[in-house]
Amino acid sequence: MKHVSNLLGCLALSASAIASASIFPDPQALLTHYLEGKPTHGNSPLEASMGYFQHHDAALRDMLNSGSPEIAGILQGASYCFAAVASKPATSLLPKLYSQDGQCKVQSADSAHRSWYYTDAQCTTAIEYKNESDTEFCLREFDFRAERYGNSEDLNYVHDAWMPGYSATLPITTKPQSFAETPLVQRTTYKTTYNERGSCHLEMRVYKNANNHNATPVMMIHGGGWLERLGTARTAEAQIAHFTDAGFVVYMPFYRLVENIEAGPACNRVNIEDSKQDIRDAFLWVQANNAHYTTSEKSLRITGQSAGGHMAVWLSQQFPTKVDKIAPMFPVPDFAHQLKEVQDGSYVHGYIEWMIATLSGKERWQDLTGNEPVIVNNSLLEAIEQAPHLAPDMFISHGMADTIVSPTQSLRLCNALAGNISSGPAQANELAFTKQYAQIQCREGSELHLLEKAEHHFDGCGLGLCDVGGQDGLIATQALMDNMIEWLK
């Protein structure tokens, strides 16, 4: 039990660092409450987190007895569950629903049962809508092995009903959550794959405001180094209310992973090219289904964080005539140069070393020669440099204190758009920051935005990563997010 206590203490420190509002409770206190069978007294967040523990009761008790480090995942999930339910937007921010029974009558969206409703007072635009219990929401969204998060097997190959998109409103974003309407989300399956370990049902989430029928389409690709999804996808998804409030319909696909840490046996242990093929198929799904969600004639925009930023660049090379705008955030589009920086000691950080080695199927990064297919196939900048006119406009962003992906990845991407990777406009020794924010014109229509003291995943604080350089850095980061959303319109 000593090992478990240490885990609990570390997790409590992590949770307390997440948000100054202290919406994340001490996981040990939650666990004690559950194990002692204390009442919840109608406290919705507490009821949900206790329901979360109850669902995992057998696994939880086994881990307590064995001292398994996996217990940290269950405890963090319960803490997130509590915080998510405690911070749900006011019911007044849910869209109005109407039912037709001789006349159009307003229904309470927060208590509506699964059925068909209308989103307008004339009862002309119908949607299937449902609510779910807080515990059901938590079990899917904060699944500690991410076997349910991003897995649409429960839908049995059909669209789910629209429901409140509370994962898009989690208060774990650097840019404060402020929106006029809680977006709705619909879950669906965009692709199913099969192998000896089972079937992998890859989920697409579609977010939009109920009555925005002319929303600009954007696809958001989560990061995680092709190795994980739970934390990074959650941070990405929490940004979505910013987008829907600005007039977007957001498509968020999940994809198979290389490592066997998350997503379940049927959806992991693939290679990076399989993951990229999933995202290519997700793009094609959106192209085929976009008209069901919006009447906008604007092309599909793409944004992605880290590995998702890489795939945003890669997708634009796969479909050069269909993609006009992308916003790669702290991307890693040049594996060869990232490996070079690791090898020559100019960028030595453990995660990128592990990531490159793992994706290459090597035990150690020192065993890499640079000729491995994963390195060659994922070094995308030379193609842009040789034909920059074929590349879409880009809004590139990166934190200069990034210890996950080298900032030179974004500088070189900007320079490639200008037609010269080495001597383009983005030079590290010439950067000029004003209150920790620098903007560089890569070419007409394409921009590089840099944050002087920001770490990786500067967009979110939910993983203890809200490290952007103090108050000036916070203001700069929020301005960058506003600028990116406006640019993507």
**Domains delineated in the chain:** 2-86 (no CATH), 145-488 (3.40.50.1820)
Residues 254 and 221: their CA atoms lie apart, in Å, by 8
Instruction: List, edge to edge, every strand of the sheet that includes 104-107.
Output: 104-107, 97-100, 115-118, 126-129
Specify whether the CB–CB gap between 261 and 247 falls below 8 A. Answer: no
> What pLDDT is recorded for position 466?
66
Beta-bridge partners for 448: 396, 440
pLDDT in tens, the chain (489 residues): 333 333 333 333 333 333 334 578 999 999 999 999 999 989 999 999 999 999 999 999 999 999 999 999 999 999 999 999 999 999 999 999 999 988 999 999 999 999 999 999 999 999 999 999 999 999 999 999 999 999 999 999 899 999 999 999 998 999 989 999 999 999 999 999 999 999 999 999 999 999 999 999 999 999 999 999 999 999 999 999 999 999 999 999 999 999 999 999 999 999 999 999 999 999 999 999 999 999 999 999 999 999 999 999 999 999 999 999 999 999 999 999 999 999 999 999 999 999 999 999 999 999 999 999 999 999 999 999 999 999 999 999 999 999 999 999 999 999 999 999 999 999 999 999 999 999 999 999 999 999 999 999 999 875 445 679 889 999 999 999 999 999 999
Q: Which residues pair with 192 in a beta bridge?
A: 201
pLDDT at residue 399, rounded to an integer = 97
Query: Which are the contacts of 436, defined by CB distance < 8 A and separation ≥ 6?
Result: 451, 452, 453, 454, 469, 472, 473, 476
Rounded Cα distance between 296 and 249, Å, is: 10
99 phi/psi in degrees, rounded to 5: -125, 155
| Residue 102 confidence (pLDDT) | 84
* Calpha distance 142→125 (Å, rounded): 33
Q: What is the pTM of this model?
A: 0.94
